[in-house]
Chain A
Amino acid sequence: MTDRRRLPWGVLAVVAALAVPAVGSRFYTFLATDVAILALFATSLNLLLGYTGLVSFGHAAYFGVGAYTTGLLMKQLAVPFLLALPAAGVLAAVFALVFGFFCVRLTKIYFAMLTLAFAQIVWAICFKWNDVTGGEQGMPDIPYPDLAWMERLPWAGSLRTSDHYYLVVVVIVALALWILRRIVESPFGRILTTIRENPERAEFIGVNVRRHELVAFVLAGAFAGLAGGLFGIFNRGVFPDFVYWAKSSEVLIMTILGGMGHFYGPAVGALVLLVLNQQITSYTEYWPFVLGTILIVLLFVFPGGIVGALAVGARRLRRSARA
């Protein structure tokens, strides 16, 4: 996955994202916030899936832990956003460390099943622990962070709170994605790809596979937690279904839809899936059916995801242009 992009897609995307409140209605800002947060969630999963070759069926656990952490801190304890959000990442990382320790000792299907089991345990706790998590009802009415200072900014001053929050989200997500990009382009990232390609061989070049996998697991969990913290506020409430296996499968599909072989694949997948979901659920209640069909088409026709297909197409165009 060497970076041969001539266009700085990342920068372009951020600029475009920042412009949304100015050009679009409230609805678009809403959708864009959702996309940005889930793009981070999906990219964090891809650190495990696309780069290390680990299939996690329970990534929503860390998303949920992050959401509940931020929600709890801000709603019950009036902790400021600047502390509550990193706390989400930290606590999610702790959970990932504990769960990951056991998970990385297993391979393939057993690894996947244990990640699922742990995630469902977290879900059951969130569902039942009424005192802390609000149980089945969850935690509604999470406050927005104090964004009054944004009204003093020249171009953003006149926007609504939700738009202010959106801009904050874009900045945080962009920063997080930049860090993730650095991580995958580091020596650590290179070693992760060797684990994905051939874990046995990686051992024999001196790689402590389990330790690397655990570090990747914790990092992925931390960023998922960050995404969860952002999402809880966006959603104005945190609920147990943030942790449910359906959420884990959703983010997994997003990642593969966009393309797990490219860094920006999952982000693209998040965008496409959310837009599709939004469009299709307005016509029919049978979204799962549509999703299932899309998934099958994806698996058989575009295994590299959208970005993968685009990359192949671009290569063909380049080749025929040269010919």
Chain B
Amino acid sequence: MLDVREVRKAFDGFAAVGGVSLRVDRGQIAAIIGPNGAGKTTLFNLITGHVRPDAGRVVLNGRDVTGLSPHDVCRLGMGRSFQRTNIFPRLTVFDNVQAALIAHRRRGFDLLGRVGALYRDDTLAILQSIGLAEKAGDVSGVLSHGNQKQLELGIVLASEPDLLLLDEPTAGMSATETRETIQLIARLTRERGLTLLFTEHDMEVVFSIAQRITVLHQGRVIAEGAPAEVRSDPEVRRVYLGERR
């Protein structure tokens, strides 16, 4: 489904991502882990078109999407959430999701329609599935951090993606919130037959749902494979736990 081939990106001479390749098959749940500064967010930015890679290719469903702008990549079925919550703060929860639906269904240049009740049922359905239906009328900026992350998930889902890229979906959450969020994500992925690629710091989260893990360190892949393999990989242990050989 997603094929990333040898992408590279350097900022002012600093190699943020240096020749990373990874594959995610359809329906898989894959994770990227690595210490801070390993280049995870940059890698995501390269995949989603936010940043142009210096070299390498990104292939989605057999189609080369390298360097395409984010809105084009989104239209091709890639949805992304951000590490720092990225919602539309002064819009209501309802409006946030509705806007995503409007954009996805290509009604963005409709100048004459009325937006009030447009896609109302679909919007509420999405809010229901992420558990924010009661807060539909609330201004999203004042929601709790956890709720905002849920909303972000809802916005992503509204674009009906095939591939979900979630950048640290449980960042800043308590243990309970983390568990709930991960269960929600796993459930939605299963229900909608989505492919999921996410980055995380929380190892418990990663090992609980990921089927395939890629480990990044200083912009390079140092290990890749099923959770059990990665867990016992000596290089990974050295990087994370500082163990000597």
Contacts and interface: CB of A to CB of B under 8 A. Distances in A.
A contacting B, Cβ–Cβ less than 8 Å: yes
Contacts of A208: 69, 71, 108
Nearest to B98: A190
A205 B110 contact: no
The 6 closest A-B pairs by CB, nearest first: A197-B88, A203-B70, A206-B74, A205-B100, A206-B103, A187-B110
18 contacts: A182-B112, A183-B111, A185-B116, A187-B107, A188-B109, A190-B99, A191-B99, A193-B90, A194-B88, A197-B88, A198-B87, A198-B88, A198-B89, A201-B86, A206-B104, A207-B71, A207-B108, A215-B109
A204 B75 CA distance: 9
A130 interface: no
Interface string B47-68: 0101000000000000000000
Given A182-B114, A194-B99, A197-B87, 4 more contacts: A186-B113, A187-B115, A193-B90, A205-B158
Contacts of A185: 114-116
A202 B80 CA distance: 11
A191 B112 contact: no
Interface in B102-151: 102-104, 107-116, 118
A201 B159 CA distance: 12
Interface in A196-240: 197-198, 200-209, 212, 215
A187 B112 CA distance: 8
A41 B99 CA distance: 28
A205 B104 contact: yes
Interface of A: 2, 182-183, 185-191, 193-194, 197-198, 200-209, 212, 215
Contacts, number: 104
B182 interface: no
Given A194-B91, A198-B86, A205 B74 contact: yes
Interface string B16-36: 000000000000000000000
B236 interface: no
B95 interface: yes
Contact of A204 (B48, B102, B108): B48
Nearest to A209: B71
